[in-house]
């Protein structure tokens, strides 16, 4: 798409040196247009974690190029081990977006049966380029399929502008080109159909205010910025004809995880009989997940809610605090919209109902790829790598309801551990008697253990909970014993270093 009437993609190899991967640093938009160059795998991980790049498709494309950069850094004598370790770290950089793991697995599969290291590196590069090209092509096709929806609404309105509400940024900035939710809008513009877009600001990162509005302005699409809480009001007053959003992960049964606040827009649309569509390339489908409530929901820093950044009266970018000192905040990055609230999914192959049978008819090749995944926990590659340089303390946990169904996914920090339980530090409060599914592991020797909190209390802005494990299997006790010993050994080593210092 265009920036100041010049075509750009969101990520591309430097034509003079393909070991330099160029990205648009989206943290600087809309005030500055900055092109950043990634030259190492570590820089690519940082770019994903700190949201220099963001959005499902672009995260996947960046992951593909990150694997290529890592392949160039990998020592020939330890190539596979190095790349496997890097893939684990990269896979942990953002837990919700399905495209991240999909791209990593695709690069690893492409180079797996190649014996020559130089050829592996070449194949990693061509695969990364193919992922990016495919993403742009699929988004263009999404636009073509979504155009028919807008055409029909325009016909009913006898040519009056079609008012489309979108949430977050699922535009070309979230993909490689065209975007998902915006692709039908661009296609309608190109077809001569007048459209107007209501742009949700999308707190706390303000992707709508900062990115979607800017992107639409660059493309001369009529748009109006609204606060996140305004959408329902507009729908009630007949000012919205259609809602189109993107998705970071969609189950093969039609549940959708998208930026926090999407669920509320779906509820409002449902109550006002307004069609609610989700636009996505097929790389965003999770073919092994049955229940959207099992999708890991990223929790981010409190500061993203308690502060805000913008350009001040002197033209400088500055950050100000919105809240009283000591204010605690919970910053969930995504929510899940159940399939029953979704009118349809707009994919590169066409528009499909948000239901298992219809999705599998459109993508029949994925039936053979399904396994006995329980739908309750993550795949091993999506789990955290627990021993990291100087720490053995990060844990995944999922909150379970009384029926054992999964709820919120998050991470905690081990304060202390025994063969019977654990003391856990978390960013959010856990009530006493909360059931948890905690992943314990030593490198790749992982096990999920169910526990129940015995007590919980705030401490220095965090929350400390005691957890007693329930019904530990023989294998679970074996792994837990290893974890306890490794944790205590690491504590002894760190204490010794501190004493020597």
Matching residue, tokens 């993203």: 304
Could you give the CA distance from residue 52 to residue 331 in angstroms, rounded to a whole number? 19
Residue 208 DSSP symbol: I
Alpha helices in 248-354 (DSSP H): 262-271, 303-306
Q: Count the Cβ atoms, other than its own, within 10 Å of residue 327.
A: 11
CA distances from 481 to 446, 464, 491 (A): 12, 22, 15
Nearest-10 crossing angle of helices 79-91, 98-111: 170
Q: What is the H or E stretch that residue 277 is in?
A: strand 276-279
Instruction: Kindly report the length of the chain.
Output: 501
Alpha helices in 442-473 (DSSP H): none
Rg (CA), the chain: 23
**What is the sign of the dihedral through the CA atoms of 48, 53, 57 and 60?**
negative
Matching residue, tokens 């530990």: 472
Q: Which of the following is catalytic: 135, 177, 241, 248?
A: 248
Q: Count the Cβ atoms, other than its own, within 10 Å of residue 357.
A: 11
Nearest-10 crossing angle of helices 117-156, 56-73: 170
Question: 354: buried, middle or exposed (CB in 10 Å: 19+, 13-18, 0-12)?
Answer: buried
Residue 452 CB contacts under 8 Å (≥ 6 apart), including other chains:
433, 434, 435, 436, 467, 468, 470
Token pair belonging to 365: 């090749």
Matching residue, tokens 């609610």: 276
Residue 344 DSSP symbol: E
Could you give the CA distance from residue 275 to residue 302 in angstroms, rounded to a whole number? 34
Could you give the CA distance from residue 384 to residue 416 in angstroms, rounded to a whole number? 19
Helix (H/G/I), strand (E/B), else coil: 35: strand
Q: Residue 248 catalytic?
A: yes
Residues serving a catalytic function are: 248
């Amino acid at each position: 798409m265009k920036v100041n009437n010049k075509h750009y993609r969101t990520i591309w190899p430097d034509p003079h040196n393909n070991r330099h991967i160029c990205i648009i640093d989206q943290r600087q938009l809309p005030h500055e247009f900055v092109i950043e160059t990634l030259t190492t795998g570590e820089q690519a991980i940082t770019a994903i974690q700190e949201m220099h790049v963001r959005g499902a498709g672009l995260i996947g494309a960046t992951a593909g190029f990150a694997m290529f950069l890592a392949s160039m850094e990998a020592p020939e004598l330890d190539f596979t081990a190095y790349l496997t370790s890097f893939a684990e770290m990269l896979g942990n950089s953002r837990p919700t977006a399905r495209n991240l793991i999909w791209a990593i697995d695709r690069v690893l599969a492409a180079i797996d049966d190649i014996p020559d290291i130089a050829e592996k590196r070449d194949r990693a590069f061509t695969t990364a380029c193919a992922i990016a090209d495919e993403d742009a092509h699929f988004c263009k096709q999404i636009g073509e399929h979504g155009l028919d929806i807008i055409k029909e609404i325009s016909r009913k309105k006898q040519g009056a502008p079609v008012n489309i509400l979108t949430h977050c940024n699922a535009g070309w900035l979230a993909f490689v080109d065209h975007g998902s939710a915006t692709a039908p809008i661009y296609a309608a513009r190109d077809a001569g159909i007048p459209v107007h877009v209501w742009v949700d600001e999308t707190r706390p990162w303000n992707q709508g205010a900062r990115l979607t509005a800017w992107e639409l302005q660059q493309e001369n699409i009529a748009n109006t910025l609204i606060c996140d809480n305004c959408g329902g009001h507009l729908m009630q007053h007949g000012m919205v004809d259609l809602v189109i959003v993107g998705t970071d992960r969609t189950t093969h049964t039609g549940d959708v995880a998208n930026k926090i606040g999407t669920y509320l827009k779906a509820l409002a649309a449902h109550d006002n009989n307004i069609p609610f569509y989700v636009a996505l390339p097929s790389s965003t489908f999770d073919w092994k997940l049955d229940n959207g409530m099992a999708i890991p929901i990223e929790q981010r820093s409190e500061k993203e809610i308690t502060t805000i950044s913008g350009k001040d009266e002197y033209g400088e970018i500055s950050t100000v605090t919105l809240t009283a000192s000591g204010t605690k905040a919970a910053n969930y990055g995504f929510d899940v919209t159940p399939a029953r609230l979704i009118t349809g999914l707009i994919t590169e192959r066409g528009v499909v109902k948000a239901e298992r049978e219809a999705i599998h008819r459109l993508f029949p090749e994925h039936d053979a790829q399904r396994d006995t995944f329980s739908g309750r926990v993550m795949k091993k590659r999506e789990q955290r790598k627990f021993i990291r340089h100087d720490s053995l303390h990060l844990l995944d946990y999922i909150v379970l309801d009384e029926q054992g169904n999964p709820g919120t996914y998050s991470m905690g920090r081990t304060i202390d551990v025994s063969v019977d339980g654990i003391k856990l530090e978390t960013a959010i409060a856990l009530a006493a008697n909360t059931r948890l599914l905690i992943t314990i592991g030593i490198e790749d020797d992982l096990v999920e253990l169910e526990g129940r909190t015995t007590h919980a209390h705030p401490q220095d802005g965090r929350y400390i909970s005691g957890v007693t494990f329930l019904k530990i299997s023989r294998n679970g006790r074996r792994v837990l014993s290893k974890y306890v010993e490794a944790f205590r050994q690491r504590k002894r080593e760190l204490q010794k270093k501190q004493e020597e210092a």
